[in-house]
Amino acid sequence: MAAVLQEDKVVSNETTRKLHWHIMLRFCLLTVLNHMDRANLIPSQLIAERVGTNRWIGFLTLGWGIVATCMAGLTNSPTHLYILRFLLGAFEAGTFPAMWAHLTRFYAGGPDLAAAWGFIGAAQPLAQVIGAPVASGLLLTDGFLNLHGWQWLFLLEGLPTICLGVWIWLTLAPGPLGAKFLTAAEQDSVHQQVKHNKERMGKEGGGQSTMDGIRCWKVWAQGFGSGWAGIMRYGAMYWTPLIVFSIIKGKSAASGATPEQVKVSGAVAALLAGVPYSWSALVTYLNARHAKRTGEMYYHLLVPLAIGALALAVLAVALGHNSYVAFFGLILSSTSQASNPLEWGYPATYLSGPALSSGWAVANCISAYGGIVGPYLIGAVKTRYGGYTIPMVIMTAVNSLAVLYFAVLLRFLPAKIAKKPDEGAEEDGLSVPGHFASVEGTQEHQDAAEWQESGTVAELKREHN
């Protein structure tokens, strides 16, 4: 029996690898191009459920690519700019919720979804590493072919997005059944795991209708918490280059640097700002992957936030005193980004189907305030008091409150999701969605073994009949 389960693990890993290459590559590229806009529209999510998430994602990507390209040549007046910017936001807004909804067709349960989103979440800080130098370089092309630098910026960001939209429209599989990159047995395996998870949610009273997701207090509470944590995340993300420059400038001033040397430090700061972003991408991916491997979500969410709060305190104390320690604190503070995929994985532990899609959309709408408050709060406090010490003290308090908030909130969410797969079976024969429990004698365990022996679900059903 153990041999059968070991074989299942190998097959599952191979299937997961194929899913990642087919879906994650497209969605990571989408995230890099889309990370600037964080608003989300519930109507867009409802349309996605009706017309198919794969086609809807392709349509949204095509739309924003076309509008972004048009902004290079059709912005002859402020009115034109406002109209195009509104359309751009409308197309970009529904992309993240639609990606979430599409992932639920292939991944079952919170840890699996969190791991999948870890790949996508890692693309967000990487977009900062890639985007800033590219944008700066494009702005320097001012006058080339009689176009302004900002026009080249829109053209060379819009045209690749159009190509990506066409690629997604033509190639993104709508679901596991019929997905050409999977074998027939793998298609059945993925489909049945997702189906079983949905049925389990129904038995446990988890919401499944669109209105269930909108009315669920848990997604409202989670959205508020994610927004609160986002105050620090997005505040630090947008101010990191200037904080790095402040650290370098302070060190240069202390060493008696000339104005020319201080100018050079600005270019160095732009390069060094990529270090915190790269660290954030790495720990986001590793944390989500480890959460999937262990089936544990609670501490994988809280620990990165706690590390981020501690690092911010170190940064606040070291600013103006020790540049090396301050820079180390800044790097480590970006660890808090690693909790983000786990935050968005939790709704999958109590919602499924259309309820999960609408619930994510609601939570995203609520959490958007963090991306607005964070950057402005740091800027306002810096302007009022000068320097970054007091802003970082405030961000330390904000992140610490986020840790406490989620520590309490998550206790009201399904606790069994935090149980390792090999620590025992749940009453329904599963420990974590997507992993068969290793307790012999349960009906689900017997079905899993027979499933592997027969090769397909269809054969299993014939055997039962």
Query: What does the pLDDT read at residue 253?
Result: 44
For 297, phi then psi, to 5°, come to -120, -35
pLDDT at 35: 53
Residue 190: which residues within 8 A CB-CB, separation 6 or more? Answer: 15, 19, 106, 176, 182
Determine contact, residues 309/400, Cβ cutoff 8 Å: yes
Please, which pLDDT band fits residue 325 given cuts at 50, 70 and 90?
A: very high
| pLDDT over threshold 60, residue 157 | yes
Per-residue pLDDT reduced to its tens digit, 354-385: 788 788 888 888 998 998 899 999 999 999 99
Mean pLDDT of 147-163: 83
Across the range 326-348, mean pLDDT stands at: 91
Q: Which SS3 state, helix, strand or coil, does residue 104 take?
A: coil
Dihedral over Cα of 23, 281, 345, 31: its sign: negative
Name the burial class of residue 215, with classes exposed (0-12), middle (13-18) and buried (19+) by CB atoms within 10 angstroms of its CB: middle
Residue 334 pLDDT level (bands cut at 50, 70, 90) = very high
214-257: pLDDT as tens digits? 888 999 999 999 999 999 998 988 898 889 988 887 654 444 44
Distance between CA atoms of residues 117 and 340, nearest Å: 9
Find residue 232's DSSP bridge partners: none
Residues near 333 by Cβ (< 8 Å), separated by ≥ 6? 232, 236, 276, 308, 311, 312, 315
Confidence class for position 6, pLDDT limits 50, 70, 90:
very low
Second CATH level (architecture) for the domain 206-418: Up-down Bundle (1.20)
Tokens 């829109």 -> residue: 154
Segment (H or E) for 431:
strand 430-432
Cβ–Cβ under 8 Å, residues 109 and 17: no
Spacing of C-alpha 14 from chain mean position: 23
The domain segmentation of the chain, as residue ranges, is: 206-418, 425-449
Average pLDDT of span 19-33: 72
Contacts of 48 (CB under 8 A, 6+ apart): 56, 57, 94, 97, 98, 101, 357
H-helix segments, 182-297: 184-203, 210-215, 217-254, 259-272, 274-294
- Higher pLDDT residue, 239 or 48? 239
- Tell me the pLDDT tens digit for each residue of 381-395: 999 998 899 999 999
Residue with tokens 């600005």: 266
Q: How far, in whole angstroms, is CA 10 from its chain's centroid?
A: 27
Q: Is the pTM for the entire model greater than 0.85?
A: no
Q: What's the pLDDT at 79?
A: 80
